Structure 1
Amino acid sequence: MDTASSARTRKSTRDENFPVASWLIASQYRAPILAFYEFVRTADDVADHPTLQPLEKLRLLDQLEASLLGHNDTEPVALPLRSILRERGLTPKHALDLLDAFRLDIRKARYSTWDELIDYCRLSAMPVGRYVLDVHGESEASWPANDALCAALQIINHLQDCGEDFRTLDRVYLPLDAMQAAGADVADLNAHRSSPGLRRCLAGLAARTENFLDPTSSFAGDIRDWRLSLEVSVIHRLALRLTQLLQHQDPLSRRVHIGRTSALGITISALARRMSAHSDRQGAHQVRI
């Protein structure tokens, strides 16, 4: 395989669990976000490729990095992002952190504790939100809330896909100590229905992720860009709903997701709440003046 792009699947933004550069985002920011998405999606597909050997995967990830940093033009998918970073004076660090996360996926397949999983999310999830904030010119003061939200989104994905991750990639993102405490075993992930112990483990991790989202409830209100704050508000509400579903539904026996009708209802509700909060804040500001 000559380039990383050859490993690219047909997966697009529509296949993701959460919105990516949706219509809520202002048009001038969509191209930078989509360029980042295409670069990261390609790297992810390399790391998850079913037949490539680990050394070949690492070589392709290194090739992506070299093209992103301008050392060569071998990887076409890196060129739009490289150009955007240069034109807008943005750092490549967030993309480089994600490449390190994919390298870690190739080398590491188990996580012993929750803290170890969060450390993985520092590379695999948090940089995504930080990049979007940078594109919008938001302050780094918003990073802690972003990091918590992005980590929660990543863990939700791990819970949803725990069976497939184990069967197809031999990866287990569920903390091993949590599995042991619940009376579950890694082999339980190979079944078509969760064992009682695995069910307890998944429900407990979903509840912990819901609690992890608590500090992010005011995140949208701290974002200056109005349209981005709306998108973050929607994502937050969708994430909360998924953690609740995962506490009661079995991701091994069924796909745990939010249907279109429910997603639309959650979106409308989140937008209404955000607009109401914004209106109240504007009114309070005028009274103070």
Structure 2
Amino acid sequence: MDAAVTTSQRLASGKGHRDENFPVASLLIKADYRPPIMAFYRFARAADDIADHPSASAEEKLALLARMRSGLDGAGAAEAMALRDAMAAHGIDPVHAHDLLDAFVRDVTVTRYADWDDLIGYCRLSAMPVGRFVLDVHGEDRALWPANDALCAALQIVNHLQDCGKDYRMLDRVYIPLDTGLDIAELKGDRASAALRAIIAGLARRTRDLLDQSEAFSARIRDRRLAAEVAVIHRLARSLTHRLEQRDPLSERVHHGKAEALFLAAGAALPVLLRWPV
């Protein structure tokens, strides 16, 4: 086993697709489409683990991410080569994978964001390509990309707001835009001040605007089962955004429990699944 493989395995978090806040290739997705989506997920998970490892050096991370990119083009990381083969088999543009790698490189090299537009620029690389890849797997119209992009950006920002304290303490990474007036040192605390709570709630409201922009996304998707999954994701994001407007992510639980996530998912998926005949 070469040193790069050993190092990459050492940096692995052990996190899997069932540990994510939002569904990944759930049983709602047709069986034929799940393998390429899971290949993309495993690629993204491996790269994310590299970028987010708390003790690896920046140089080590960038070298491993470069090996991920090499695997997309030829010989390199196993997860990247598996994704390359899946993309070739389904005729999918590799730009989505390359954009995602650009985001992970940015995670290593950029730790602060100036304003909302700067944050959305990051989401353009870190989140939007994921949804675009899934749409391409299903052969959906690229006219759906703006709605996809709004939803995916919302999901990314929800995750950032939920994890704002942990990201700062473990990685010195701050996704809350600095023009909000944020006192970064407050992210180390066990409880948010009134000022920090107001900043988080304000960003949650802006995230709600993104969800409003993607409200009709599910109804425009041709594949009924993908439409149901998107409806579920949208419903979960709405719920989490509302919680972030009301709760302190430094001291209160924001994530859904399994039972409540299942309840919300069923309420979102069933109307979509019943909309068309089987």
Question: Given the two structures, how large is their TM-score scaled by the length of structure 1?
Answer: 0.91
1:238 aligned to 2:240?
A: no
Q: Judge conservation of contact 1:5–1:77 (CA < 8 Å) in 2.
A: no
| Cα distance per residue 1:85-104 (max 9 Å; x no partner) | 11111111101101000111
What secondary structure is seen at the aligned counterpart in 1 of 2:112? coil
Q: Judge conservation of contact 1:5–1:75 (CA < 8 Å) in 2.
A: no
Give the Cα separation in 2 of the matches to 1:6 and 1:64: 15
Which residue in the other structure is 2:108 paired with? 106
| Cα distance per residue 1:66-117 (max 9 Å; x no partner) | 11111x2x32222221111111111111011010001111111000100100
Larger radius of gyration: 1
1:145 aligned to 2:147?
A: yes
Which residue in the other structure is 1:54 paired with? 58
Query: Displacement, 1:254?
Result: 2.4
Q: Judge conservation of contact 2:189–2:250 (CA < 8 Å) in 1.
A: yes
Aligned residues: 273
Give the Cα separation in 1 of the matches to 2:262 and 2:19: 16
Give the Cα separation in 1 of the matches to 2:264 and 2:61: 39
160, 174, 177: which one aligns with 1:175: 177
Give the Cα separation in 2 of the matches to 1:237 and 1:169: 30
Give the Cα separation in 1 of the matches to 2:89 and 2:268: 34
Query: Displacement, 1:14?
Result: 1.1
Give the Cα separation in 2 of the matches to 1:268 and 1:11: 25
Give the Cα separation in 2 of the matches to 1:6 and 1:137: 37
Give the Cα separation in 2 of the matches to 1:267 and 1:85: 29
Which residue in the other structure is 2:17 paired with? 13
Query: Displacement, 1:6?
Result: 3.8
Give the Cα separation in 1 of the matches to 2:52 and 2:73: 23
83, 87, 90: which one aligns with 1:88: 90
Give the Cα separation in 1 of the matches to 2:177 and 2:49: 24
Q: Judge conservation of contact 1:111–1:175 (CA < 8 Å) in 2.
A: yes
| Cα distance per residue 1:155-204 (max 9 Å; x no partner) | 000000000000000000001111x1xxx400000000001100110111
Give the Cα separation in 1 of the matches to 2:15 and 2:94: 24
Question: Given the two structures, how large is their TM-score scaled by the length of structure 2?
Answer: 0.95
Please tell me the root mean square deviation across aligned C-alpha atoms, in Å: 1.3
Q: Which runs of 5+ in 2 are unaligned?
A: none
119, 135, 145: which one aligns with 2:137: 135
Q: Percent identity, aligned pairs only? A: 54
55, 63, 67: which one aligns with 2:67: 63
78, 81, 98: which one aligns with 1:79: 81
**For residue 40 of structure 1, what is the amino acid of its counterpart?**
A
Give the Cα separation in 2 of the matches to 1:77 and 1:122: 22
Q: Judge conservation of contact 1:94–1:128 (CA < 8 Å) in 2.
A: yes
